[in-house]
Structure 1
Amino acid sequence: MAGLRMSIVVSATSFLLGLLFTHWIADSLTLWKSPSTNSDPRLWIAATYYSILTRMPPMLAYIYVAVAVLGGLTLLWSLGDGRAGNLMFDGGSLLLYSSAVAMYLYSVLPNLFENFSALPLPFVRAEPTAPPSTSPSVPPFPTTLRTPTLELASSHLVCSVALTGVLLLQAGRWWAEQKDVDDDEEEAPSPDEKAVVKDEKEPVKEKKKAS
């Protein structure tokens, strides 16, 4: 049962972590960049991606929520066993997992729907008098959107680091449990040792019968 619960937690966490990794195509344009390199085209590309996220089908959002709830409930279930290993590894995993979920609920989602859901698509515009071969111009990026765009990339990074910590703790738990199993197998007597002990006890019983 412990292996099943661990598999569910790892699968749910990996699924959510994969979703956050897909945002890297937009986050990488603004994260750890100096103000001089955060040009308007980069910011518009990131804002376009975030705006598309707010327009995804509701069914996908329900799937993401279901996976996140499943992972959290499984961690709570495993933590309820009260075993020392569960309290240490699953307790830390639950803390990191809940931190990532709270960051997404109270920082990422409000930022997305408040600042990017009403943006029109596409953002680029072509000049009416420009020849067809000319690339479309990019309008100046609004100053009011600059900070929300940078905060989204930072929030996604925090969630990714927290979920990566969950995977590391679950890997540590698996290693600790395997170590305990190996130690128990080493301490348990082998079949040959059991046979030797049995042979040593049988003469004692025969002497008692003879007396």
Structure 2
Amino acid sequence: MAKSNSFATFLIIGPTCFFLGVLFILLPYDYHILWAPPSPNAPPGKTMEDYFLLQETHLKFLHASPPLVPRIQNLIVGVGLLGFIIKLYKPSEANLLFDGASLVLYMVGITVYIANIVKGLRMVTAGEYGSMELVEAEAVAGSGQVELEGTGIGREDSLRVLAASNTILALVLVGVLVLQAGQWYAERKEEDEMAEMDQKAAEKKRTASSSGSSKKNK
């Protein structure tokens, strides 16, 4: 069971780290959009509009990827789900706590990916800003920059929502890794305690047997 759990953990951590790497590649495009917007007096080539154009061009290029790329991504998502299915089959108490919470975060990440990122890529490629609804990401994009769910938003706010969605997804995936690491630590601690208890029990048994044999000799 321990070997199957270790393999299932690998199936979860592998896809999670893979998608964190993909999001890290997107960070140079999202950084200036969300965290370090240039000043109004920025030189040509480093204005806010230039960064929006860079992000927009990159997103269009991503959406125009060959069909093999999204198929591989969907396959990797499925590998992660397979890992959760294996670990949650006949679950222990630790599995229900850590893997259950990890699965919830993983599904939240899939929801953000489908509802925001995939839909946003199609919107950017079509150039139909404001015609599609995106899930609210105001908490990350900044107060007052993104409208509530169910309203049409413009080009700049749509690109901010996509950048914020990448950040939200990264935080969710980091949460999955933290929970898996916490489970590993808890199981390791439990094994050490059990081994210590067994060692103490064995020492008591040896002490009792040695004292009994010494009494017989007397």
TM-score, L = length of structure 2: 0.75
Deviates more, 1:110-119 or 1:87-96: 110-119
Q: Which residue pairs with 1:164 in the alignment?
A: 174
Deviates more, 1:93-102 or 1:144-153: 144-153
Aligned: 1:29 with 2:40: no
Unaligned residue ranges in structure 1 (runs of 5+): 120-142
Query: Structure 2 CA distance, aligned partners of 1:181 and 1:148?
Result: 50
Aligned: 1:101 with 2:110: yes
Question: 1:126-167 deviations in whole A, cap 9, x for unaligned?
Answer: xxxxxxxxxxxxxxxxx9421221111001111000000000
Deviates more, 1:61-70 or 1:35-44: 35-44
Q: Secondary structure at the match of 1:189?
A: helix
The higher-RCO structure (CA 8 Å, 6+ apart) is 1
Q: Secondary structure at the match of 1:168?
A: helix
What is the percent sequence identity of the aligned residues? 26
Q: Which amino acid aligns with 1:155?
A: S
Offset at residue 24 of structure 1 (A): 0.6
Q: Which residue pairs with 2:208 in the alignment?
A: 197
Query: Structure 1 CA distance, aligned partners of 2:89 and 2:203?
Result: 40
CA contact (8 A) 2:60 2:125 kept: yes
Coordinate RMSD, CA, aligned: 2.5
Q: Which residue pairs with 2:10 in the alignment?
A: 7
Offset at residue 198 of structure 1 (A): 3.2
The equivalent position to 1:115 in structure 2, one of 98, 111, 124, is: 124
Q: Secondary structure at the match of 1:91?
A: helix
Q: Which amino acid aligns with 1:167?
A: L
Deviates more, 1:68-77 or 1:82-91: 68-77
Q: Which residue pairs with 1:52 in the alignment?
A: 61
Q: Which amino acid aligns with 1:20?
A: L
Find the structure with the greater CA-based Rg. Answer: 1
CA contact (8 A) 1:29 1:46 kept: no
Q: Which residue pairs with 1:149 in the alignment?
A: 159
Unaligned residue ranges in structure 2 (runs of 5+): 41-46, 129-152
Deviates more, 1:173-182 or 1:8-17: 8-17
CA contact (8 A) 2:33 2:48 kept: no
Aligned: 1:177 with 2:187: yes
Inter-CA distance 104–49: structure 2 relative to 1 (3 Å threshold):
same
